[in-house]
Amino acid sequence: MNIKPVRTEADHKAALMEIENLMTAEFGTPEGDRLDILATLVEAYESKHFPLELPDPVAAIKFTMERFSLTIKDLEPSIGRPSRVYEVLNHTRPLTLRMIRSLNASFGIPVESLIKEAPPTKKRLGMYGLRSLVGVTRAERPKRPEDAMMLTPARLRREPKASKGPKHRKGLATSGEKS
């Protein structure tokens, strides 16, 4: 057996062509052993040069739903009531530890995919993000979620406005006025 390490792109292509020719080899034969060794070498080369990134947690859940023909009702035992399932699938609610454990145990979704930080999206901010802008009046709130993401604590700080309340309280006049 004349097998050499797969170090370059040319070695990779040559090994793939040889693997293709050996695909019909029987297990336990010299050709089958050669196929096994080449496949291991190619797998090591590809994992080093073409690493696969884990999917977003919601993408992993949606893939599993499509793969097993699952519905929202099927996810309720793992995530919660239907509205919570929709919030998770729309990136408005993050997964909790209980949800992650349950999804992994029930559907075999890798924990590594479920704990990955989801990228910030417009949908993720949603109405919850706008409500969390404490001290910002409705008129000052951004019109679009992506504008809210631009707000920083320094931009939210401002001087308190003077009260424009009534001058009289239950018949009591302020100083200088007659009742």
Distance between CA atoms of residues 81 and 78, nearest Å: 9
> Which is more confidently placed, 69 or 126?
69
Q: Which two tokens stand for residue 153?
A: 């604590």
Judge: domain 57-114, CATH 3.20.20: no
In the predicted structure, residue 54 carries a pLDDT above the cut 90: no
122 vs 65, 92, 130, CA distance in Å?
A: 23, 9, 12
Give this prediction's pTM.
0.48
For the chain, the structural domain boundaries read 9-49, 57-114, 122-150
Q: Give CA–CA dist 87/49, Å, rounded.
A: 37
Q: Which helix (H) or strand (E) holds 64?
A: helix 57-68
125: pLDDT confidence band, cut at 50, 70 and 90? very low
Does residue 123 have a pLDDT over 50? no
Distance CA 122, CA 145 (A): 6
d(CA 107, CA 113) in angstroms, rounded, equals 13
What backbone phi and psi angles, to 5 degrees, belong to 169?
A: -120, 115
State the Cα–Cα distance between residues 91 and 73, nearest whole angstrom: 18
Confidence grade of residue 104 (pLDDT, cut at 50, 70, 90): very high
Q: Which stretch of 106-120, 123-137, 140-154 has the lowest confidence by average pLDDT?
A: 123-137
Neighbours of 60 (CB within 10 A): 19
